Structure 1
């Protein structure tokens, strides 16, 4: 099925719920992989003979690959068809998983994670693009809920499953379990995903792709090196400065071309701009949580990988419980009030994690994590929806690429900020290994950064996204 350039929205034959569930299966595989990996980091570090703090590169290398290749996802899907790109992305992700499982050292694992990231860079954004073009804006909140609920099963299942695998089998099987999911995903995509593409092929912005890739690579790796002290300050500074300079060159380039790989003119839409800025600040905490919490439970509390997985999965369970309430909450309060006050509540819950100690009753820890997952999930559902409130449908492709690029970059930055705060606290106190006070400091640092999002959200119009939420401001 081809999509006319003048009418980019289409209705797939199986219905948007079926398409959403198939796309969610790909997101399930990606989220399952990420949450299992976070739980297994200490065991993998022991296998490779490196410090657990250095294992953050296994997470950031994947996110780096996402940040570099996501900008091209929309243009590639428009040119070669969403079904072809989606299937190829799942195949690449599955192949990368196999290579991760057979890796014998940290450098090989990082290279395999980069290949996984190329698949992930095309898999989720292209799926989201198909969904955006399949439903009217009035049904987008419901559609996003259908998309995200099955995907959230990954974080729910991931920590306890990862703990079980690491404790009783081998950490390598956390990657091998992606293989049957990937094969099933390729078959389902071939059968049900519509072949959405634009007949008017736009010239690919090769120079912009290179500039954005170099800039993002230097920034992420520079921050990663700073975060765990793996190199001199001078070397890290050079990378960050090069990233900023090349980024400035890209901005100048983007203003001269008609179809840049990252369309900066989208920031003229108020809801899109504020969602990008506030969402980026909030995602620093979202990126830090899966890195800090399992390490805190294992290194600070002395729990096994299996036990820490059971504890940390509760926040994902809270996210699951939220999905039934997203639509009525947004209909009652609207996007602006929800994003402001819910954002403050979610960050307060994260700040409480800094106070966790082994003598706390388990039910209090579970309660805090459950509420944290609930409020954070509502926050991101609202961000992901209101971003497209004012964007014309013919620009959904470039908007999805732009938004997802910054989303993944800030998740990566969250890991770097958390690791840097952890390392700084360890060094400041002259410790050899991270202890509970060091984790507390890291939680508070990322929380303070993300709290800045609240006044940004307050600048949204009262009726922002009213067509999506059904809210009518007085």
Structure 2
């Protein structure tokens, strides 16, 4: 293994660790909400602002990551992001009241919004196409592990320590990440940077903030009136529509939407986002089912959900081989269909269902999640031209971040709809699981439409019947 190869692997693992911190902090706080509310003398529902402030900041600032990287260089932005995230985590732990905690969470979101997209861009620009499956496999696992691990870790921390440790854990991890990044990531020459697209920034950030806030209102039963939700949703729709029109017409857009012309990237950004919505919703819905319907404690509930993690990690060493052996299209068809089936199967769970059966379904769901997310995260950049890599990375990060929040919102709405249409709490959960299962069939349909050779540029082993001329591959990138 060459020095550059080892450095690339180490950088991918570093970004994976940063991704884990970012994802964990986006999900674990909900577990500690009652304890935070008691300590800060506020209502538990008000603690929802702590979660939403973080998610809104991530969604708003991620699109800026591409321009900031071009302007200041990836090393400088990445190191600054880790520093801000770590210091903000310490400030969160020391917050004396809810207002300060919300403000420090916004700062934490500023660091998180730059930390992972910029780190992933460093890995992508230094990786040959054939090495993408292996490198992406390292980066993807935190997105799978953190939401599953968060309920158990949050339960343990709030049971045996205090909520402050949710944030204090980031401090030593952030210090180590900063030292490693300073050593690993070398300064890179900066390209000539066009002026910041101020109109695009204003429209895009406003639209994304409003959309994320709409998702919060939908997912929080006490979050706001129907009129408020509709009004914020309308602002999101108007701002994002205007943003798309502007970004397609301006010569130097904040994010180049024409990157979506590449079919493989379009599949990852659109179908992959729907898939991510279902993936993010399950760690939210399963613990609620176990605790509200089955009457389990937080620790037992979190421990059973960890079987999803077993499936994630169990298949992870094989994902690169599976991509190289079978190609992206078959794997995405099987993984999306597998997640749809296992999610729908959760609708059949009752108090009498043996834990072993639940565990098996959870493991199979974890396998589907791992293979599917690895496939979408790899095919996204497999055929993207180098000059559009920065835009593709920003679009990918933004769409998947939004999808995670929207998945929870869709689940909450399905739960309330199920409660209105049925006569029991368990039936409401069954409706929610079925809705998520049906939603996951949309990416299955998208995978069926993929060109058989889509993503072959990132494969090491390409079957003879899949080898096509460069012109054919280029044609497969375009929309039909």
Tell me the TM-score normalized by structure 2. 0.88
Q: Does 1:461 align with 2:432?
A: no
Worse-superposed segment, 106-115 or 370-379? 106-115
Name which of 354, 358, 365 aligns with 2:351.
358
Name which of 223, 234, 237 aligns with 1:241.
234
Q: Return the alpha-carbon distance in structure 1 between the equivalents of residues 53 and 231 of structure 2.
A: 19
Describe the SS at the equivalent of 1:303: coil
What corresponds to 1:314 in structure 2? 307
In structure 2, stretches of 5+ residues that fail to align are: 467-480
Instruction: Work out whether residues 155 and 313 of structure 1, in 8 Å CA contact, stay in contact via their aligned partners in 2.
Output: no
What corresponds to 1:471 in structure 2? 462
Report the CA distance between 1:232 and its aligned residue: 2.2
Describe the SS at the equivalent of 2:454: coil
Q: String of CA shifts for 1:390-436, please: whole Å, max 9, x gaps.
A: 211122111100111111111111111112222333455698xxx33
Name which of 430, 433, 437 aligns with 1:443.
433
Q: Return the alpha-carbon distance in structure 1 between the equivalents of residues 168 and 418 of structure 2.
A: 36
Instruction: Work out whether residues 201 and 254 of structure 2, in 8 Å CA contact, stay in contact via their aligned partners in 1.
Output: yes
Name which of 172, 185, 191 aligns with 1:180.
172
Tell me the matched-pair count: 460
What corresponds to 2:286 in structure 1? 293
Q: Identify the structure with the greater helix proportion.
A: 2
Instruction: Work out whether residues 228 and 420 of structure 1, in 8 Å CA contact, stay in contact via their aligned partners in 2.
Output: no
Distance change in 2, residues 1:301/1:112 (3 Å): farther
What corresponds to 1:281 in structure 2? 274
Instruction: Work out whether residues 167 and 306 of structure 1, in 8 Å CA contact, stay in contact via their aligned partners in 2.
Output: no
Report the CA distance between 1:279 and its aligned residue: 0.7
Q: Does 1:373 align with 2:366?
A: yes
Q: Return the alpha-carbon distance in structure 2 between the equivalents of residues 381 and 276 of structure 1.
A: 13
Report the CA distance between 1:151 and its aligned residue: 6.8
Name which of 118, 130, 138 aligns with 1:146.
138
Q: Return the alpha-carbon distance in structure 1 between the equivalents of residues 166 and 121 of structure 2.
A: 29
Distance change in 2, residues 1:357/1:37 (3 Å): farther
Name which of 376, 381, 406 aligns with 2:399.
406
Q: Return the alpha-carbon distance in structure 1 between the equivalents of residues 188 and 29 of structure 2.
A: 33
Instruction: Work out whether residues 154 and 166 of structure 2, in 8 Å CA contact, stay in contact via their aligned partners in 1.
Output: yes
Q: String of CA shifts for 1:55-114, please: whole Å, max 9, x gaps.
A: 665444432222111101111112212122112111222233234334566665444333
Q: Does 1:71 align with 2:63?
A: yes
Distance change in 2, residues 1:150/1:423 (3 Å): closer
What corresponds to 1:347 in structure 2? 340
Q: Return the alpha-carbon distance in structure 2 between the equivalents of residues 458 and 393 of structure 1.
A: 27
What corresponds to 2:474 in structure 1? none
Report the CA distance between 1:152 and its aligned residue: 5.5
Name which of 209, 218, 221 aligns with 1:217.
209
Report the CA distance between 1:271 and its aligned residue: 0.9
Distance change in 2, residues 1:297/1:46 (3 Å): farther
What corresponds to 1:193 in structure 2? 185
What corresponds to 1:96 in structure 2? 88
Q: String of CA shifts for 1:326-377, please: whole Å, max 9, x gaps.
A: 1221222211111112210112112222222232221111111111111111
